Amino acid sequence: MGCAQGKAKKGTIMMQASSDMLCVYNRDATILIKSSKTPGRSEEVHFKLSDPVLFSSLRVQIASYDLWISKCVLPGLDPRDPSKRACQDYCVFTNDETSTLLGVFDGHGAYGKEVAKLCSETVENFLPENKEFSQTDPKGFLIALTEKCTEELRKNENTVDSKFSGCTAVFVLLAGDSIHSASVGDSRAVLGTSSPPSVMPAPTTQIREEERKLLEKVKKRRQSNPMLEVQAVQLSKDQKPEDPEELERITQNGGRVQRITDALGNQVGPYRVWEPDLKAPGLTMSRSIGDKGAASLGIISTPVYTKHKVHPYADFFVVAGTDGIWDAMDNQDVVNYVECYRDKCKRGCGSPPIGDQITIHNTCIAQLLCEEVRVRWLTIVEEEDVTIDDISCIVLELQPTILPSSGHAKRPIPNEYDPIRSIGETANQQAPTNPVRDPRRGSIVLSGS
């Protein structure tokens, strides 16, 4: 089944297949949110999906590469009050004659937006000022960039309070024949390739078990089948507090790593970092830029660096995104989707499409992916009554897909599939006795305590 049209219909979000396999996303939405007070009852909620707050798509030529790069930031929202939630994601890309640098940031805390914005501005200025450095020592360049972000926060502490606010970051540097990445926290970069390394790094746990069960059916309904099999290779490494090496550092510094306990005593949501005797700061990552108040707990800003040598005929694109992407779609699902539709999307658009309908014909692949991710989020909202996280990504296309002359690498798209399926399908599913309602925030506490 290829990607089908998603359209709003009273009572639920529906999916309708089209003969030409176009993805269509409408702004007007209606969903049924399960009641937490009355089992078996649902509340019908009508709302309008938000437009991108950051958007661009352009062609970039560097050294031997002819690239297309697109970015999109969709602000998260509370379906019950769409105007209430502020977007804290930023993404940026810049280049010179020999290199391209991407940066994706996910802010958290009261000043998370300002922290992420300041880091984004730092990236824009850093490459032009350090051209040689990016070529001679890419690892040192990315570490220095992370340190520069921290330095800029110190310089601006009178206007950007980063004591209990910060951001995650993932940087991708394409320089020479290699892709270099550095990550702080749980934003992530993934490569789409037809020739994965013989020894692939172990993928990060991508979707929590609670969400995995909810999303499995919608994933099957909406899965994309590109004509060429492309594998997902995770370039960066998420840093989560429950990871053994991260956990050891945090506990040695006196921090606690625990999940939230609900009223019935059940542990819900992701693992978080806490003060020994306080319900703060509640960070879901073990490294971040900012969060000075959590430094004593072992929260550090040192990035994890990786390097991948580009396979010139098999490495097709890189997707860098915040956890708003990876909490709703796994690596392979994202790679399949991008490969299936990137060559069909509009290119070179400087502003997002106007109107109530987003399609392949009027937007870039970055926004199309973000729109698809948001459809998956609606399933979680229907079941758990949570807010939709900010959703951000940059898609760096290294080269177009060239199908082999032999058909063995092609994957046929089935001609028969159900014309209509519910994205938030709840039929024949028993309502959970204790639905998970964990806030999608990097930090529980927004100000000092």
- Whether 258 maps to a domain, the answer reads no
Q: How far apart are CA 323 and CA 284, in angstroms?
A: 11
- Whether 216 maps to a domain, the answer reads yes
Share of the chain above pLDDT 70, in %: 81
Q: How far apart are CA 197 and CA 320, in angstroms?
A: 19
Q: Are 296 and 254 in contact (CB under 8 A)?
A: yes
- Whether 23 maps to a domain, the answer reads no
Q: Are 407 and 244 in contact (CB under 8 A)?
A: no
Phi/psi region, residue 385 (left: phi>0; alpha: psi -120 to 50; beta: rest), is: left
Burial 156-170 (b: 16+ CB within 10 A, else e): eeeebbbbbbbbbbb
Q: How far apart are CA 127 and CA 373, in angstroms?
A: 31
- Whether 32 maps to a domain, the answer reads no
Q: For 167-176, 207-216, 270-279, 300-309, which range has the lowest pLDDT when averaged over its residues? A: 207-216
How many domains does the chain contain in total? 1
State pLDDT tens for residues 235-282.
999 999 999 999 999 999 999 999 998 888 888 888 999 999 888 899
Its pTM stands at 0.86
- Whether 149 maps to a domain, the answer reads yes
Query: What range does the domain containing 321 cover?
Result: 51-237+292-411
Going by C-alpha positions, the residue among 259, 345, 241, 244 that lies closest to residue 297 is 241
Contacts of 219 (CB under 8 A, 6+ apart): 329, 333, 376
Going by C-alpha positions, the residue among 311, 303, 359 that lies closest to residue 197 is 311
CB atoms within 10 A of CB 263: 6
- Whether 183 maps to a domain, the answer reads yes
- Whether 404 maps to a domain, the answer reads yes
Give the pLDDT confidence score for residue 176 in this predicted structure: 92
Contacts of 218 (CB under 8 A, 6+ apart): 375, 376, 379, 423, 424, 425
Max alpha carbon distance in the chain (Å)? 64
Going by C-alpha positions, the residue among 441, 433, 439, 416 that lies closest to residue 4 is 416
Q: Are 189 and 304 in contact (CB under 8 A)?
A: no
- Whether 77 maps to a domain, the answer reads yes
Going by C-alpha positions, the residue among 173, 168, 130 that lies closest to residue 149 is 168
Q: What is the CA radius of gyration of the chain?
A: 21
State pLDDT tens for residues 126-159.
999 998 999 999 999 999 999 999 999 999 999 9
CATH number at residue 317: 3.60.40.10
Tokens 């050294």 belong to 63
Indicate whether 207 pLDDT > 60. Answer: yes
Q: For 220-229, 247-256, 261-270, 422-431, which range has the lowest pLDDT when averaged over its residues? A: 422-431
Q: For 185-194, 353-362, 366-375, which range has the lowest pLDDT when averaged over its residues? A: 353-362
Contacts of 293 (CB under 8 A, 6+ apart): 163, 164, 281, 448
Give the pLDDT confidence score for residue 437 in this predicted structure: 52
